């Protein structure tokens, strides 16, 4: 896939995944490609900071599980964030769900057009999720059974089970006067 006007950002995070009643340590490498949907550089920077927060605060040291209230309750006693998915949290499902979350957060400002994901437990196979990937069908079909899917919220929520869902303002996000994300070409009026 050739992306002429996209911006790519790579990051890593470590966590644990619960598959077949066993916790597995995991290390992810993610590359996000996004395009600006606004010319407002302050807003682009603000959304980019939210993207970084999702990876650095909510996914780092988290526990990935399949959506199941009983399993969530058992894992929620730990101080880790527990992130639920519509199916077992294999790399492809994690990638498509994270991409949906980023696009919910990005709104009309930054649009993620691809998410490349690989993990140590996934034998370092790199999956590329785009807007045309077949994983969307699985996510869309199975999310109908889930109350309050976190990936559809534009707020800093990473669990479908939390009663109290904080807002970006409640966790201290504000727009800074100076933009660090510089877009030379891009933006749609």
In a domain, 189, yes or no: no
For 103-154, write each residue's pLDDT tens digit: 999 999 999 999 999 999 999 999 999 999 999 999 999 999 999 999 999 9
Query: pLDDT (tens digit, 9 = 90+) per residue, 59-98?
Result: 999 999 999 999 999 999 999 999 999 999 999 999 999 9
* Within-domain flag for 168: no
State how many domains the chain has.
Answer: 1
Look at residue 21 and tell me whether its pLDDT is greater than 90: yes
In a domain, 2, yes or no: no
SS (H, E, C) the chain: CCCCCCEEEEEEEEEEEEECCEEEEEEEEEEEEEEECCCCHHHHHHHHHHHHHHHHHHHCCCEEEECCHHHHHHHCCCCCCEEEECCCCCHHHHHHHHHHHHHHHHCCCEEEEEEEEEECCCCCCCEEEECCCCHHHHHHHHHHHCCCCHHHCCCCCCCCCCCCCCCCCCCCCCCCCCCCCCCCCCCCC
Using the predicted structure, report yes or no on whether residue 189 has a pLDDT greater than 70.
no
Structural domain contains residue 145: yes
Average pLDDT over residues 142-170: 93
């Amino acid at each position: 896939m050739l992306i002429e006007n996209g911006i790519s950002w790579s990051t890593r995070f470590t966590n644990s995944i619960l598959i077949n009643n066993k916790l597995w340590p995991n290390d992810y490498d993610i590359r996000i490609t996004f395009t600006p949907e606004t010319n407002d550089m302050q807003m682009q920077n603000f959304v980019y900071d939210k993207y970084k927060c999702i990876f650095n605060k909510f996914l780092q040291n988290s526990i990935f599980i399949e959506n199941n209230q009983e399993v969530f309750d058992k894992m929620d006693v730990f101080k880790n964030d527990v992130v639920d998915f519509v199916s077992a949290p294999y790399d492809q499902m994690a990638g498509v769900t994270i991409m949906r979350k980023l696009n919910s957060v990005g709104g009309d400002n930054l649009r993620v057009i691809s998410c490349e994901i690989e993990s140590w437990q996934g034998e370092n196979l790199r999956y590329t999720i785009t807007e045309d990937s077949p994983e969307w069908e699985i996510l869309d079909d199975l999310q109908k059974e889930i109350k309050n899917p976190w990936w559809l919220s534009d707020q800093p929520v990473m669990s479908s089970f939390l009663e109290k869902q904080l807002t970006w303002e409640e966790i201290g996000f504000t727009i800074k006067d100076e933009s660090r994300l510089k877009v030379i070409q891009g933006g749609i009026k």
